[in-house]
Structure 1
């Protein structure tokens, strides 16, 4: 009799439960790679509560730091990363060398050297006696990772002036935050002035720009988001939600009405004074970001073609075959 009553109570409880609760799925974990912030918004996206509505519900966003985009190739191929922030150099390497032909570009992140926007400088010491690119012969150049976007810019600029790595100069690797000290302590002669470090007052007191991304390669697709087709197929709804949230936050960060608060978020995350960011962050002194989140596939194609031209990859790829912008389109339709 007692068992019968328990069965009746269970049936009543199930009948009173909403159907959507019964069929509800656990949020999808989306592990996303990033290299440098605030160039990348990945670690910053959800530090402002109440602006977006999907993180923590349909998906859980987990930013993961990498010292270079090329390191994300191994991570995503081993199932340790779901969304990679690849660049115009690491993306073709992932396809050609790692065999990740199922990668799909789904959103844009930043462009370097876009007209009217920030173009990364490559610094030498003011007292180094290095006044032209040819003066790098016999010197030490510092990159964040072999094959990274800035690495190729550096190699291309030096190659155009007759200098080849190892034959004419030494290339070493070091994380971006250490480049100022590498230059200051004479451990490197040419370093990368990536944001936000390039606006550091002490850095600019000791360093000068020898060339920029724009003067070396022109406008390049420095970073964009990619996922594997299998992950996209399994988690399409969650990814559409992420695209909606991403564009919402892109626009929030770039809204002049939110500037001071946005600067405060970045400053707290990096544990730096807000004054270091206030003058340039999310303005034309910053990298170009498409506020609809859509990558310009023609810019990505041109960028990858340049990698092939300098000999870093054997052949270029047809970018259009490795892009799926339908997630952004579906997210955009919700706002109409």
Structure 2
């Protein structure tokens, strides 16, 4: 008669905890092999290039996720900051971005020189359109600079060479008969540092945009000298572009992205939400909400089309200006590089077409 090893467990006399464990394992295995319907695909990550907030509010539109319908379901957004759109363009060329803000100037260069297949898909911002505030070029009130001609021999600051700010500056100075490098020097300064650079007399003229424009004027001692539209008319300053390949492969996610963008933009532009919108902007930029209260998303801010529809006619005129400056070796026709079909589908869902 065999003797049972006292250290050996009798698998036919399992304890309740082991029985429950094996039962749960069996159920899990069964669930794994029994079809339960199609699995939901993982959300598409849209790598989104953006600039200074609130000049470019693109990342803010995805901060209040409770008003979005598709975020986290069909797509998510990875916002990536770039000091200027000319730098963002390099990231697009390196396939490090899928959608990005791009100035009219960088778009023209991308079409001619970059070998990139980009499509304009939406509006980001316009300068001084519909009575809204755009960028201003400021000098010190005590500088003795009263006209553009007085900038001869001076040092002028822009956020980035090749940016819309840079070419709008050059267009105005060309009207005054001044040429870069020959008659004046241009240096790069980040927009938040413009005020200190001007007051410390390191430069003679700066580019000022909201909220830095408002802060500089509250502090006093500065004077507006000219604006982009003085030489260019209305400016479609920033647009969203997508890599054509990404647009083809992830069109459904892009439509959802645009639909949510419009939905969020409407919320931010609603005066009833101004206080909370300013607070969201303040949290994102790590600045006091008081900096934004009373003007952000209103007429003291850049113009943003409520349906994100870009002004293609203005964009073409702006590109023609860059060509006239000698930056583009030939005139660029923008129409072949525009695809507003995804935006139209997004607007149709929202009942705005």
TM-score range, shorter chain: over 0.9
**9, 12, 31: which one pairs with 1:13?**
31
Equivalent-residue separation in structure 2 for 1:288 and 1:40 (angstroms): 11
Equivalent in the alignment of 1:328: 343
Equivalent in the alignment of 1:68: 84
TM-score (norm 2): 0.89
Q: Which has the larger radius of gyration?
A: 2
Equivalent-residue separation in structure 1 for 2:315 and 2:216 (angstroms): 33
Equivalent-residue separation in structure 1 for 2:35 and 2:269 (angstroms): 43
Structure 1 pair 299–241 and aligned structure 2 pair: CA distance change class (3 A): same
Q: How many residues of Structure 1 are paired with residues of Structure 2 in the alignment? A: 329
Structure 2 counterparts to residues 43-58 of structure 1, below 5 A: 43-58=59-74
Equivalent in the alignment of 2:135: 120
Structure 2 counterparts to residues 312-327 of structure 1, below 5 A: 312-327=327-342
Measured after TM superposition, the shift of residue 119 of structure 1 is: 2.5
Equivalent in the alignment of 1:173: 188
Equivalent-residue separation in structure 2 for 1:297 and 1:278 (angstroms): 31
Contact map agreement 2:134 2:209 (CA 8 A) in 1: no
TM-score (norm 1): 0.93
Equivalent-residue separation in structure 2 for 1:104 and 1:304 (angstroms): 15
Equivalent in the alignment of 2:215: 200
**107, 128, 132: which one pairs with 2:122?**
107
Equivalent-residue separation in structure 1 for 2:350 and 2:271 (angstroms): 21
Deviation track 1:273-300 (CA, whole Å, cap 9, x = no partner) reads 2222112111112111111111121111
**25, 32, 37: which one pairs with 2:48?**
32
Equivalent-residue separation in structure 2 for 1:294 and 1:18 (angstroms): 42
Structure 1 pair 17–184 and aligned structure 2 pair: CA distance change class (3 A): farther
Gaps of 5+ in 1: none
Measured after TM superposition, the shift of residue 232 of structure 1 is: 0.6
Structure 1 pair 59–161 and aligned structure 2 pair: CA distance change class (3 A): same
Equivalent-residue separation in structure 2 for 1:20 and 1:142 (angstroms): 56
Contact map agreement 1:180 1:203 (CA 8 A) in 2: no
Q: Higher mean Cα deviation, 253-262 or 271-280? A: 271-280
Deviation track 1:227-265 (CA, whole Å, cap 9, x = no partner) reads 111101111111011001000011000011111110111
Measured after TM superposition, the shift of residue 52 of structure 1 is: 0.2
Structure 2 counterparts to residues 260-275 of structure 1, below 5 A: 260-275=275-290
Measured after TM superposition, the shift of residue 331 of structure 1 is: 1.2
Equivalent-residue separation in structure 2 for 1:173 and 1:20 (angstroms): 53
Deviation track 1:38-58 (CA, whole Å, cap 9, x = no partner) reads 121122112223100222221
Superposition CA RMSD, Å: 1.9
Equivalent in the alignment of 1:235: 250
Q: For 1:50, what is the secondary structure of its paired residue?
A: helix
Contact map agreement 2:58 2:124 (CA 8 A) in 1: no
Q: For 2:114, what is the secondary structure of its paired residue?
A: coil
Equivalent-residue separation in structure 2 for 1:20 and 1:301 (angstroms): 46
